[in-house]
Amino acid sequence: MRVIICGAGQVGYNIASYLSREDNDITVIDNDNTAISKVNDTLDVKAIVGHAAHPDTLASAGASDADMVIAVTHTDEVNMVACQVAHSLFNVPRKIARIRQTSYLDTAWSNLFSRAHMPIDVIISPELEVAKAITRRLAFPGTTNVIKMAGGMVFLCGVMIEQECPLINTPLEQLSNLFPNARLRVVSILRNGEVIIPKKDDQMLVGDEVYFVIDKDQIEQTLDTFGREDDQARRVVIVGGGNIGMSLIREIQETQPNVSLKVIEKDPKRAKYLSEELEDVIILNGSGLDKDILQEVHIERAEAMVAITDDDETNILGSMLAQNHGCKRTITLVNKSTYNRLLSTLGLGAVVSPRAITVSTIMQHVRRGRIKAVHNIGDGAIEAIEAEASENCSVINTPIHSLNLPPDTIIGALIHNGNIVFPSPDTVIKPGDRVIFVASREQARKVEKLFSVNVSIF
């Protein structure tokens, strides 16, 4: 497949890195020479310097033969025009655009992106996707990550293992004996920055972040089993009232109307705007690093504090201060990947990466044959892959123990005839089954080949 990626920032770079592993013809466009040099030096793709929305630049990138344009520059208008030019002049079949400005996404203007006006096939709003991800974490207290899979029948959940966890030092193979009715499978462990795809004799240790695939109806019960008896978030403090903050407030009000919200916003004009736009939300003008402000919002009584300003350092320090003042749980937005190893040592709660969420969301719309979804966890070190077994792929009608799976790979669950199956070594995958794999980044491509994957856009 020929793909043009407009934008060589963190999101564009990661998408190019992922797709370049799959024998695709990838071209990256950016007007930043340094960003393009990094792409040329580190990825097996074509990269050109130029304005992504200009017809001559798109022509140089091969738009006349492209199957897809993914526009993820830092400017909404460039992304929109790039898709329009790709459609009108080059007839590119599929166009995906990242759009941040919420006014473009207002339902009152939904006709804007129709084929008759500005034909963009998929709109990705990082602010909205991040808001949804945070809301899921608030809905399941005690989780560091919650990913819906197989149409919501199963979830991939992450939890931190603390001293109170009764399962510490217990071999994973004993979990089924200890909890015979539990419908879950531990599929990965993040330990001191390293990834473990567990075997049956592996154990969970204090400080591990453990991911498991679970029946949606057993999440709360299982969190209790892991010693995560966190209180449901009824009082939430949000630090940062920008676009993500606004999206989060509206998402919470829509899905969790019983939650009481307080917002700390540093910019007085923005704080005034929020107070005029939002109902039943207390808005305070000040800094989330000001102890007087934290006392004013009674941070010690809050079940959760969400730090989502546009400054990573403020978010990290604000979460640490909130915990120091007695807040039970924090969710911290961090953009820079350079902090990844440090964060695990700080004892923060859930950490949210807009970049990782945006990349995962976009990759779900880049359908690759029988691969229906790909989710990055552990900052991309692990990939959860949802695939459909076809009549002629190599995995069907063979017991799992005979599949010769790549190392660092585990089958978490499969959906057979509408039922969730947590497979044993003797389980046989049948045509039409939805299979959820978890694999290290290095082995993910080999897993996809088991399904005879061909990259396609339909």
Number of domains in the chain: 3
Residue 397 lies in a domain: yes
Residue 133 lies in a domain: no
Q: Are 276 and 383 within one domain?
A: no
Residue 401 lies in a domain: yes
Number of other CB atoms surrounding residue 390 within 10 Å: 15
Which CATH number belongs to the domain containing residue 443 in this structure? 3.30.70.1450
Q: What is the pLDDT of residues 422-449, one digit of tens each?
A: 988 899 999 889 999 998 877 877 887 7
Do residues 103 and 110 lie in contact, with contact meaning Cβ atoms separated by under 8 Å?
no
What 3-state class would DSSP assign to 266? coil
The tokens describing 326, both together, are 């007695």
Q: 373 vs 5, 246, 386, CA distance in Å?
A: 20, 28, 5
Q: Are 345 and 259 within one domain?
A: yes
Residue 352 lies in a domain: yes
Q: What is the pLDDT of residues 257-274, one digit of tens each?
A: 899 999 999 999 999 999
Q: 109 vs 49, 78, 104, 105, CA distance in Å?
A: 33, 19, 7, 7
Q: Are 331 and 400 within one domain?
A: no
Q: What is the CA radius of gyration of the chain?
A: 23
Q: What is the pLDDT of residues 129-147, one digit of tens each?
A: 999 999 988 988 888 888 8
Q: 200 vs 293, 437, 455, CA distance in Å?
A: 49, 16, 34
Q: Are 307 and 419 within one domain?
A: no
Q: Are 351 and 370 within one domain?
A: no
Q: Are 6 and 116 within one domain?
A: yes
Residue 436 lies in a domain: yes
Rounded CA-CA distance 364/18 in Å is 12
Q: Given the structure tokens 């140089």, which residue do they identify? A: 60
Q: Are 337 and 412 within one domain?
A: no
* pLDDT of 235: 92
Residue 301 lies in a domain: yes
Q: Which of 305, 333, 356 is the last residue of a domain?
A: 356
Q: Are 325 and 419 within one domain?
A: no
Q: Which of 293, 326, 356 is the last residue of a domain?
A: 356
Residue 63 lies in a domain: yes
Q: Are 350 and 378 within one domain?
A: no
The tokens describing 437, both together, are 């794999």
Domain holding 434, by residue range, is: 363-449
Q: What is the pLDDT of residues 49-85, one digit of tens each?
A: 999 999 999 999 999 999 999 999 999 999 999 999 9
- Catalogue the E-assigned strands of 269-358: 281-285, 304-307, 330-333, 350-352
Q: Which of 102, 124, 146 is the last residue of a domain?
A: 124
Which CATH number belongs to the domain containing residue 338 in this structure? 3.40.50.720
Q: What is the pLDDT of residues 174-225, one digit of tens each?
A: 887 777 777 889 999 988 878 889 988 899 998 888 999 998 888 888 888 8
Do residues 373 and 161 lie in contact, with contact meaning Cβ atoms separated by under 8 Å?
no
Residue 217 lies in a domain: no
Do residues 274 and 131 lie in contact, with contact meaning Cβ atoms separated by under 8 Å?
no
